[in-house]
Amino acid sequence: MPISVVQTPAIGDVQLELDSMLWRAGISFDRLQITPESGFLYYEVRAPLPAPKDLKQLQHRLKKLSKELWVENRQPGGQLVIRFNKEILFLIDFKPSKIAESVPVRPRMAIIMDDLGHETHSAKTLIDIQLPVTFAILPYTAQAGTVARLAHQNGYEVMLHIPMEPQNYPAIDPGPGALIMSMDPFAVQNQLRQWLDELPYVVGGNNHMGSRLTEDPESMGAVLEVLRERRMFFIDSRTSASSVAIIEARRKGVPAISRDVFLDNVREVPAIAREIRKLAGMARRRGSAVGICHPYPETLAALRQEAEVLREQGIDVVPVSQLLVKAKGRTVGKGG
């Protein structure tokens, strides 16, 4: 007789449901202290135990992940344990005597859709999903201007997806007119200005490829000077761990932030959905997070699937500019 093997649920999925329950119960994440212990995560919560209905809903949601997940009220009024079979995954202590005055802040996450502009179907699908995803449009694509106008007309933020030299260039091609290391700073700036003049409604940029060029202070400095003069921001797609983009942006006074998660490295709907939830978990614990994805059919399907989940869990998906700290004396996204 075959032995039934119970698959362990992803710890991140369990944690997302726990965090969601705490948020629905009105417990802001500045009231949590999370400490890794031997084999489990320990939560100290400076708030009372949530109501029975919240705990019942948590158990219901966990059962959808695995029938072997259990919520145990170990010390009624004070402590919960989440188990998988007999294994403790989370120990949660509620200590209302440690309540600190705080103002709950809704977690925010930005999702940037790269490589737009080749066609309009992906843009129309994104708009239909009704998540305020930021459009990053390649300047040399046939429908770049049409997609930019479509996004703007429907209230979506538009960025220039700036083609830059990757490692192993020219074997890996970032596209026509790309900014490459052999260009002097003036040529880099002239090409970037031309793209910005041609593509309407742009408020910032991020790098397309660029694993080599983003490592070079001189080239990135030239890019950022143009963005500064136009009062735009920069998002580092982090295609290289050695990128100097954020350092140079700070030096130039350009508002900038880095990508946290690539959502669709694995082109399968369940995998992309897990990465979206991972990004949501980051936003809950840190306050904000940035994800990047591409207009694959699987990505669009996963975004549609997860959109309502994010709304239910109190996570705001926002245009990426809302996560940036404004540079002194400048307004993000205004030309001039």
pLDDT number for residue 335: 36
pLDDT of residue 100: 56
**Among 240, 299, 241, 237, which residue's Cα sits nearest to residue 274?**
299
Query: How does pLDDT run across 131-175, given as a tens digit for each residue?
Result: 999 999 999 999 999 999 999 999 999 999 999 999 999 999 999
Q: Give the closest residue to 207 by CA, choosing from 256, 169, 275.
A: 256
Identify the CA nearest to 307 among candidates 278, 269, 333, 276. Answer: 276
Mean pLDDT value across the chain: 90
What are the boundaries of each domain within the chain?
11-98, 108-323
Assigned token pair, 60? 């219901």
User: Which pair of tokens denotes residue 247?
Assistant: 């350092």
The per-residue pLDDT for range 70-111, each reduced to its tens digit, is 999 887 668 999 999 889 999 999 998 876 555 557 889 999
pTM: 0.80
Fold of 108-323: TIM Barrel (3.20.20)
pLDDT higher than 60, residue 187: yes
What is the pLDDT averaged over residues 38-52? 90
Q: What distances in angstroms separate CA 232 from CA 63, 116, 203, one per listed residue?
A: 46, 19, 5
Complete DSSP assignment for 22-42: HHHTT--GGGEEEEE-SSSEE
Question: What does the pLDDT look like over 244-302, one tens digit per residue?
Answer: 999 999 999 999 999 999 999 999 999 999 999 999 988 988 889 999 999 999 999 99
CATH assignment of 11-98, among 3.30.460, 1.10.30, 3.30.70, 1.10.3470: 3.30.460
Average pLDDT over residues 36-54: 90
